[in-house]
């Protein structure tokens, strides 16, 4: 005998609705609710206090828990499906309501649980039209949330009238009768439970497999928007630069326009290459996600390189125009500046002569500087004369060019004279100090040798001590060379001092210090291990409420703790102490995050949330939703 069992239409509808509800969660990255406000866009910054006050007042006066989620995009999903995915993924129900706003998509959705069915569809539409939409259009995002919370409270208050029994938006599944026919319902219920299990397994598998790809796609999307924007901006910059070439040539002539022409040519080449990459992205040949990301990065890099070349030339051209404006004042000041520089020449010449008693290497960096300085002064004098003549004839552009030549000559001459005088002063100072430096190195080395003899088991100092002795021998040789290079000799003596002091510090590390370090390492390892075990136990008993962040911190803390033990066993005590301390810190962070998530989960107002979390929250409560959505 074969029993024929037919699924009732309500039960079949329930199974189909469950599949539809779960599907969005697998197709998009559903955010984890971090608290009453989850803002991934930053548009609510500065208005959090006002929003939280409105949410608390709504909960206290009307027993409605409002959750606010602002995201950049819903990943091409309708706002309603995305909101329902958030509600299912975060086990919202009971007295919960959810306001979702996708800033870049300019869409939103107001979801509410089955227990809030006293709010009619007309009231829900009024909340959206009168409270939410106008403020979103005006860009007053915190005000939109506050107004929505207040309107929800008013709608809930008006809903205190006895219900007519009508369910908005077809809310709720039809319940089976309590009378006969129970045997006919049992098998469909078993099938639904099995279907739920299969769907849940499929969702978990798909989420795990798709999480990395979804995160990469979102990152690539932002990169694509950046690449497109910078590509267009660079194209405009290149077009402007090409037009500017003609103006600059007419104003200042070929010598000044040549660098701009070269920069524009370089920018065009970079832009052409960037557009070629963009074309490959747009053609019918598909790229892997990795290839696409690399190509978008190339577009951005080439565009920025082109803009940098143009920026440099734009600054130079602007300085030319400023120079043309200021040319009379600059030329007027040139004679006084020339006189001041010429007054310095005897002092600089004496400094150069004083360098003659040192080794050629001491004089080499400033050889020829005196002659070049005098040439620069004379060139500035002649340029000033030509510029003054050009001004008298009304040719301000020619005057500007000569003013620039005079400026370059005076600036160069000043730098050359400074270099000669500074080199002579450095050589004299080094010669006076080298003997003291060598004496200091000798004293430190002797102290290091004595300490090493007293601490035969000292863990360090041997290699550094040998290096210090070598450096001291080199310093003595440099100091006794004829002719003397005092700068090189002092450099060698300073290195000998540094190494001898380092050797002394290493040798003085005694057994007591070593023991204290060992004790510190052991104490830190014990603390870190206790913290890791504590947060591991907490997540094991509350894992339904604990998300990715706490688990990631715990995994890193466990890895750091294992590495700290390895370092200790190898004798790398300082590294072991640092790594164990890091493990402690990570474990503490993991426990703090997990505890906050548990508090939010258990105290957030969702019916059954606390019990579900303690049991691992493997089954999310099923709730109906009624909401409104539209484009901002």
pLDDT one-digit tens code per residue, 505-533: 877 765 456 567 788 888 888 888 888 88
405 and 346 co-located in one domain = yes
pTM for the predicted model, two decimal places: 0.40
442 and 409 co-located in one domain = no
Residue 302 reports pLDDT greater than 90 = yes
Which element (helix H / strand E) includes 108? strand 107-112
The CATH number covering residue 195 comes to 3.10.310.50
DSSP 22-85: HHHHHHS-PPPP-SSEEESSSTTTT-HHHHHHHHHHHHHHH--EEEEEEES--TTS-HHHHHHH
Distance CA 23, CA 78 (A): 12
The dihedral built from the CA positions of residue 560, 566, 568 and 573, taken in this order, carries a sign that is negative
13 and 152 co-located in one domain = yes
Does 454 map to a domain?
yes
Domain boundary among 399, 425, 451: 425
Q: How far, in whole angstroms, is CA 592 from its chain's centroid? A: 23
Does 625 map to a domain?
no
Does 49 map to a domain?
yes
392 and 442 co-located in one domain = no
User: CA 271, 272, 275: angle at the middle one, nearest 5?
Assistant: 85
Does 621 map to a domain?
no
pLDDT one-digit tens code per residue, 67-112: 999 999 988 788 899 999 899 888 888 889 999 999 988 899 999 8
Q: Token digits for 444?
A: 């430190």
158 and 21 co-located in one domain = yes
32 and 144 co-located in one domain = yes
Mean pLDDT on 20-48 = 75
479 and 556 co-located in one domain = no
Domain boundary among 456, 473, 507: 507
Does 600 map to a domain?
yes
Contacts of 133 (CB under 8 A, 6+ apart): 630, 632
461 and 318 co-located in one domain = no
pLDDT one-digit tens code per residue, 589-601: 988 898 888 888 7
Does 26 map to a domain?
yes
128 and 14 co-located in one domain = yes
Mean pLDDT on 480-507 = 89
CB-based contacts of 40-44 (< 8 A; 24+ apart in sequence)? 40/70, 40/71, 40/72, 41/70, 41/71, 41/72, 41/103, 43/70, 43/103, 43/141, 44/68, 44/70, 44/141, 44/142, 44/145
522 and 538 co-located in one domain = yes
Query: Which is more confident, 159 or 445?
Result: 445
Which residues constitute the domain of residue 536? 513-609
Average pLDDT, the chain: 79
Worst-scoring range by mean pLDDT, 93-97, 185-189, 265-269, 453-457?
Answer: 185-189
Strands 628-631, 107-112: pairing is antiparallel
Q: Which one of 84-98, 199-213, 284-298, 361-375 scores highest in mean pLDDT?
A: 361-375
Confidence category of residue 166, pLDDT binned at 50, 70, 90: very low
Does 224 map to a domain?
yes
Q: What is the predicted pLDDT for the residue at 340?
A: 95
Mean pLDDT on 430-448 = 91
pLDDT one-digit tens code per residue, 553-581: 889 999 999 999 999 998 788 899 999 89
Distance CA 304, CA 224 (A): 15
Whether 199 contacts 619, CB under 8 Å:
no
Domain boundary among 196, 213, 230: 213
Residue 1 reports pLDDT greater than 70 = no
Distance CA 522, CA 528 (A): 10
- Cβ count near 219 (within 10 Å): 12
372 and 244 co-located in one domain = no
Residue 419 reports pLDDT greater than 70 = yes
Domain count, the chain: 5
- Cβ count near 61 (within 10 Å): 11
418 and 270 co-located in one domain = no
With a pLDDT cut of 70, the percent of the chain lying above it is 78
Distance CA 525, CA 568 (A): 9
Q: What is the predicted pLDDT for the residue at 303?
A: 93
Worst-scoring range by mean pLDDT, 65-69, 166-170, 222-226, 517-521?
Answer: 166-170
Q: Which one of 176-180, 354-358, 606-610 scores highest in mean pLDDT?
A: 354-358
Does 597 map to a domain?
yes
């Amino acid at each position: 005998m074969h029993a024929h069992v037919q699924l009732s239409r309500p039960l079949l509808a329930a199974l189909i609705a469950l599949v539809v509800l779960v599907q969005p969660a697998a197709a998009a990255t559903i955010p984890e609710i971090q608290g009453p406000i989850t803002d991934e866009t930053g548009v609510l910054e500065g208005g959090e206090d006002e929003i939280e006050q409105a949410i608390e007042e709504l909960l206290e006066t009307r027993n409605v828990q409002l959750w606010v989620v602002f995201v950049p995009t819903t990943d091409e999903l309708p706002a309603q499906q995305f909101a329902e995915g958030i509600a299912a993924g975060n086990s919202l129900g009971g007295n919960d309501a959810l306001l979702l706003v996708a800033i870049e998509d300019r869409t939103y959705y107001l979801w509410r649980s089955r227990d809030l069915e006293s709010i009619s569809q007309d009231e829900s539409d009024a909340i959206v039209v009168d409270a939410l939409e106008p403020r979103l259009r005006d860009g007053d995002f915190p005000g939109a949330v506050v107004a929505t919370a207040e309107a929800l409270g008013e709608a809930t208050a008006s809903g205190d009238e006895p219900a007519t029994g009508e369910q908005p938006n077809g809310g709720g599944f039809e319940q089976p009768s309590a009378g006969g026919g129970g045997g006919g319902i049992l098998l469909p219920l078993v099938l639904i439970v099995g279907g739920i299990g299969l769907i849940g397994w499929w969702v978990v598998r798909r989420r795990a497999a798709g999480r990395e790809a979804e995160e990469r796609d979102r990152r690539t999307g932002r990169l694509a928007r950046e690449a497109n924007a910078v590509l267009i901006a660079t194209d405009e910059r290149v077009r402007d630069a090409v037009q500017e070439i003609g103006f600059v040539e007419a104003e200042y002539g070929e010598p000044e326009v040549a660098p701009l022409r070269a920069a524009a040519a370089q920018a065009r080449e970079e832009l052409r290459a960037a557009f070629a990459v963009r074309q490959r992205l747009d053609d019918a040949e598909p790229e892997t996600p990795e290839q696409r990301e690399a190509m978008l990065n190339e577009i951005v890099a080439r565009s920025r390189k082109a803009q940098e070349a143009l920026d440099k030339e734009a600054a130079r051209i602007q300085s030319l125009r400023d120079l043309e404006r200021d040319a009379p004042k600059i030329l007027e000041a040139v004679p006084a500046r020339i006189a001041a520089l010429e007054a310095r020449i005897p002092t600089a010449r004496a400094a150069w002569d004083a360098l003659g008693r040192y080794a050629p290497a001491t004089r080499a960096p400033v050889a020829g500087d005196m002659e070049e300085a005098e040439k620069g002064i004379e060139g500035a004098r002649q340029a000033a004369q030509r510029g003054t003549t050009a001004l008298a004839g009304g040719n301000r552009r020619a005057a500007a060019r000569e003013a620039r030549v005079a400026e370059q000559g005076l600036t160069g001459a000043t730098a050359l004279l400074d270099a000669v005088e500074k080199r002579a002063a450095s050589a004299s100072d080094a010669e006076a100090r080298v003997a003291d430096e060598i004496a200091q190195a000798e004293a430190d080395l002797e102290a290091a040798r004595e300490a090493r003899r007293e601490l035969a088991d000292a863990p360090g100092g041997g290699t550094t001590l040998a290096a210090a002795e070598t450096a001291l021998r080199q310093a003595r040789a440099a100091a006794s060379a004829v002719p003397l290079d005092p700068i090189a000799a002092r450099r060698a003596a300073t290195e000998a001092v540094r190494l001898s002091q380092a050797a002394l510090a290493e040798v003085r590390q005694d057994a007591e210090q070593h023991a204290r370090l060992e004790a510190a390492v052991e104490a830190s390892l014990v603390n870190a291990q206790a913290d890791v075990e504590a947060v591991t136990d907490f997540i094991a008993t509350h894992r339904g409420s604990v998300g990715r962040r706490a688990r990631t911190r715990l995994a890193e803390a466990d890895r750091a703790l294992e590495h700290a033990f390895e370092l200790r066993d190898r004798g790398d005590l300082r590294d072991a102490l640092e790594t164990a301390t890091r493990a402690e810190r990570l474990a503490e962070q993991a426990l703090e995050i997990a505890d906050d998530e548990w508090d939010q989960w258990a105290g957030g107002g969702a019916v059954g949330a606390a019990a579900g979390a303690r049991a691992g929250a493997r089954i999310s409560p099923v709730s109906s939703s009624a909401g409104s959505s539209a484009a901002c």
